[in-house]
Amino acid sequence: MKKIFILVALVLGFSASDVLAQQQSPVRFGIKAGLNLANWQGESVKSANNILDFTDGAVSQQMREGFHAGVFVTIPIAPGFEIEPGLQYSQKGTRLTGTLPFELTDFLNVRGTLTNKAEYLDLPILAKVYVGDGFHIFAGPQVSYLLSNKMRARAGALGVNLINTEWDMKSGMREIDFALSGGVGYRFNSGFNLSAGYDFGLSPVDNAATFKTYNSVIKASVGFAF
């Protein structure tokens, strides 16, 4: 967590210097929250059918549904251009779903899911360019700290849970994750805003980078700037 606090301090210092240089421009603080559709991209996903032999190749990858919530600071730099650092909690990961291939269980249609539940603290620093009355595009780097990483295995048939277990897998996972974030949004005169974005992971999720697998997140957000 020390690294995150240092990064936050640097961002706040950068923000303060901009405020002093441009006191005539209002700095706005805000809150935002929304939905995540998270996934993994990379070699581990491509080889999932070979790794999970119990599904006999009948594995499908699905996005993990989650949410994000946090705060941000909007700093005007020039007409139509702003810098927006933020700090938010964000749920990421992925999900694999398959049907157990054993003949004895065919009539039960036993289905299982393996879900990676990764929880991050994101620090995006976005550049926002307004191309119309309230409409804007944004992009910038993002640094994330891994708060927790768990795996959940579930299997059931006929409405009955046969397996439902969860275990910690933070050990061996990369604590600091780097990504590029971008998207589009619209801010109303009231301060209410809507946005849709995408986080493209640049760092492998595991420390050893064995699988060359990266976070990928689609976001839809609502927020309010005071």
> What ranges do the domains of the chain cover?
2-225
Q: What pLDDT is attached to residue 138?
A: 98
Tell me the pLDDT band of 12, cut-offs 50, 70 and 90: very low
Q: What pLDDT is attached to residue 212?
A: 84
> What are the φ/ψ torsions at residue 191 (nearest 5 degrees)?
105, -15
* Of the candidates 73, 179, 69, 44, the residue with the CA atom closest to the CA atom of residue 119: 69
Contact 95, 52 (CB under 8 A): no
- Whole-angstrom Cα distance, residue 9 to residue 87? 12
- Whole-angstrom Cα distance, residue 178 to residue 157? 40
Tokens read off for 26: 């209002």
> What are the φ/ψ torsions at residue 57 (nearest 5 degrees)?
85, -5
Q: pLDDT digits over 26-74, tens only? A: 999 999 999 999 999 887 666 654 555 545 555 678 899 999 999 999 9
Is 13 a residue whose pLDDT tops 60?
Answer: no
Q: pLDDT digits over 180-189, tens only? A: 999 999 999 9
For residue 8, the SS3 value is: helix
Is 20 a residue whose pLDDT tops 50?
Answer: no
Q: What pLDDT is attached to residue 102?
A: 47
Q: How high is the mean pLDDT of the chain? A: 84
Tokens read off for 167: 């275990």
121/4: higher pLDDT = 121
Which residues sit opposite 83 in a β-bridge?
A: 75, 127
Cα 206 from chain centroid? 16
Average pLDDT value for residue range 208-219: 90
Q: What pLDDT is attached to residue 98?
A: 74
Instruction: Tell me which fold the domain 2-225 belongs to.
Output: Porin (2.40.160)
Is 162 a residue whose pLDDT tops 90?
Answer: no
Q: What pLDDT is attached to residue 85?
A: 98
Among the residue ranges 61-75, 123-137, 145-159, 211-225, the one predicted with the least confidence is 145-159
Q: What's the predicted TM-score (pTM) here?
A: 0.81
